[in-house]
Every structure is written in C-alpha cells, then in structure tokens.
Amino acid sequence: MLQTGCRALLLSLVIGIFSLSAHAAKAPAFILFDQAGSSISLDSYRGSGLILHFWGTWCPYCKKLQPGLERLSRKYKNAGLKVLAVSIRESEGANPEEVLKALNITFKTAVNGDKVAKMYGVVGTPSSYFISRDGMLLWTTHSADPWNKEFESKIRLILNLDQ
C-alpha cells in the first residue's frame, strides 16, 4: 500500500515537471500603445521579468488584483520586475490610465489591446502572463486574489532569483 502511494506521488511529480516545461514557450511579440500614442513592445522589456496583465476598466476583479500587483512590482522593482497592464474590451470614452491613477497604480498601461489579447488567448479578465527575462512565457493565471502566494513564487521564477 505504501509502495503504491510512493509510486503515485513520484508519477505526479514527474508529470508536473514535464507539464511545466511543456508550457514554457516564447511569448508572442507585440506592439501596443499608451493613451498618449507612445509605442510599447515586448522587446522593450527584454532583460526584465514582465507580468503582462490584461484587464478592463469595467472589471471589478481586475481592480481587486491591481493593488497586489502594484505591491509586488514595488517589492521586486530593483530585481528587474515590470508590470504592463493591457486594457481590453473598452467602451468608447473609457480612460484606463485615469482608473489606475485613482487606485494609486503606477505601472504602465496600454490601451486597445484586443488584438494582442487574442494572440495570447485571453478569454476573460483578469488574465496575467508571467514572462521571463529572455522572453519565455512561464505561467498564466486568472487569479484575482492580490495575496495569491503563487504570484511571488512565479515572480521569483521569471526573475531567475532562486538559481
């Protein structure tokens, strides 16, 4: 009985390791724009760990998550973490930058990100994509919990801090 349990545990660990490596893929390149019209590209984040956070001004779960992302971006700023909020599915007249400012969020936001969201396979918000310094997509989450413990471990992964 104990032997069977150990085998099952070992098998699940092996499957977990292979599934992690199977999900690591090169993040799709993009060019987005902020509200002032300045371009923002994935290449401009090369060398930094990036959380690509798709959200909408209409999404209460996104607003719940964003203060946690802000806290983490400040904590890991000197280690090279960046956060880019990408506003999607907005109605005319929406002002994503103002919404973030009202929440005391300082990370950059891009607007009209629907095409990029489609490239990344976004189906709902919030959707956060964790991209390593070398442009590899290592983790995706739809969590709206600003205290989700996995966020910090995945940040350490994309920044390569535990090597």
User: Can you give the CATH number for the domain in which 30 is found?
Assistant: 3.40.30.10
54: containing domain: 25-158
Domain assignment present for 99: yes
For the segment 93-123, what is each residue's pLDDT rounded down to a tens digit? 999 999 999 999 999 999 999 999 999 999 9
Lookup: tokens for 52: 């690509």
Q: Specify the DSSP element, H or E, that contains 83.
A: strand 81-87
DSSP 106-121: -SEEEB--HHHHHHHT
Domain assignment present for 77: yes
Segments in the chain below pLDDT 70: 1-23
Q: What is the pTM assigned to this prediction?
A: 0.85
Domain assignment present for 9: no
Burial annotation 86-98 (CB, 10 A radius, 16+ → b, else e)? bbbbbeeeeebbe
Domain assignment present for 74: yes
Domain assignment present for 10: no
Question: How many residues in the chain?
Answer: 163
Domain count, the chain: 1
Domain assignment present for 104: yes
Distance CA(74)–CA(80), nearest Å, equals 10
Distance CA(29)–CA(24), nearest Å, equals 15
What pLDDT score was predicted for residue 153? Answer: 96
Domain assignment present for 50: yes
User: How far does the chain reach from its first CA to its final CA, in angstroms?
Assistant: 37
What pLDDT score was predicted for residue 50? Answer: 99
What pLDDT score was predicted for residue 162? Answer: 85
